Structure 1
Amino acid sequence: MEPHYYEVNLGWQYARLGQLSSPTLTESIDVATPPEFPKGIPGVWSPEHLLVAAVSSCFMTTFLAIAENSKLDFDDFDCRAVGKLENKDSKLQISEIQLYPKLVLVDDSDIEKGERVLQKAEKACLIANSIRSVVTSKADIRVIVKDYD
């Protein structure tokens, strides 16, 4: 596979607020110091949120590719993610990211396949594999209730 490059531009706006953009994307997003830090701005995406979001969204897209290749029939997927910021070795870092994927299957005979696909996605997620944070998941797999008339 040839290398791929992803360009992101950051422009400082004022105080602790910046704006992220990319020449290949149509929308920009504001980013700021989180309110837990001095002069942080509440209600704005922070680098910490973006890191956790990058892992979660990569996990989802990896899951979707593996699910398609595995012919896993599912009705819904979502994933809550929580990043733990702490001081380790005198450095602040996101030390852990916990993923909470919720998978709703169409057929209860696919539960084992769904578990395998989620495990493969966790191992293959390129963003999780690119960072030092420990990334783990605790899946919630359900089967959709079918109504028969």
Structure 2
Amino acid sequence: MADKHLYDVDLKWEHGRIGVLSSDKLDDQIEVATPPEFPGGVEGIWSPEHLFISSISSCFMTTFAAIAEYSKLDYDSLDVKSTGVMAKVDGRYVMKEVYLKPNLVITDEKARDKAYRILEKAEEACLISRSVKTEIILEPKVTIVVLN
């Protein structure tokens, strides 16, 4: 694996507080805007705050998938609810905390402890989480579904 990777993103301002993100390497574009909680904010459009939380959540998921595969953990599904807490710190807004609430579904009761360990390892190994100063709070849940 190379020591350095590049990820190009282009942003084009459309009007007001709305722009469009794109990349030559990706098919989809994402419309972005100021969130409605701020003056001039726009409802119903992804905000930088949503994208910030999404980058942490999706990095957690992809890191988990890689570690689970390497560790030979079979799982049926993984859903991750994420909440970012923006608050004023020293008079400035910051993304103070991000709560990651993964719900992992497995069928083997004996793998429960292993599943929790891998969820914790994924949070620790996620390169986006390691790159931000925001506190990441992991609240994992492992659900056992018995197949008949």
Query: Given the two structures, how large is their TM-score scaled by the length of structure 2?
Result: 0.97
Partner of 2:121: helix, strand, or coil? helix
Displacement, 1:2? 2.0
Q: 2:66 maps to what in 1?
A: 65
Q: Which structure 1 residue ranges, 4+ long, deviate > 6 Å from structure 2? A: none
**What is the correspondence of 1:118-129 to structure 2 with a 5 Å cutoff?**
118-129=119-130
Q: Residues of 2 paired with 1:56 and 1:83: CA distance? A: 10
Report the AA paired with residue 109 of structure 1.
Answer: K
**What is the correspondence of 1:1-149 to structure 2 with a 5 Å cutoff?**
1-147=2-148
Q: Residues of 2 paired with 1:52 and 1:92: CA distance? A: 15
Displacement, 1:6? 0.5
How many residue pairs end up in the alignment?
A: 147
Deviations along 1:28-52, one digit per CA (max 9) or x if unpaired, are 0100000000010000000000000
Displacement, 1:91? 1.4
Report the AA paired with residue 16 of structure 1.
Answer: R
Which ranges of structure 1 fall in alignment gaps of 5 or more residues? none
Which ranges of structure 2 fall in alignment gaps of 5 or more residues? none
Displacement, 1:53? 0.4
Root-mean-square deviation (CA), in Å?
0.7
Deviations along 1:93-137, one digit per CA (max 9) or x if unpaired, are 101000000000120000011011001001000001011100011
Displacement, 1:145? 2.4
Partner of 2:76: helix, strand, or coil? strand
Displacement, 1:8? 0.5
| Identical amino acids, percent of aligned pairs | 45
Q: Residues of 1 paired with 2:41 and 2:138: CA distance? A: 29
Q: Residues of 1 paired with 2:60 and 2:70: CA distance? A: 15
Report the AA paired with residue 110 of structure 1.
Answer: A
Contact 2:108 2:146 in 1 (8 A): no
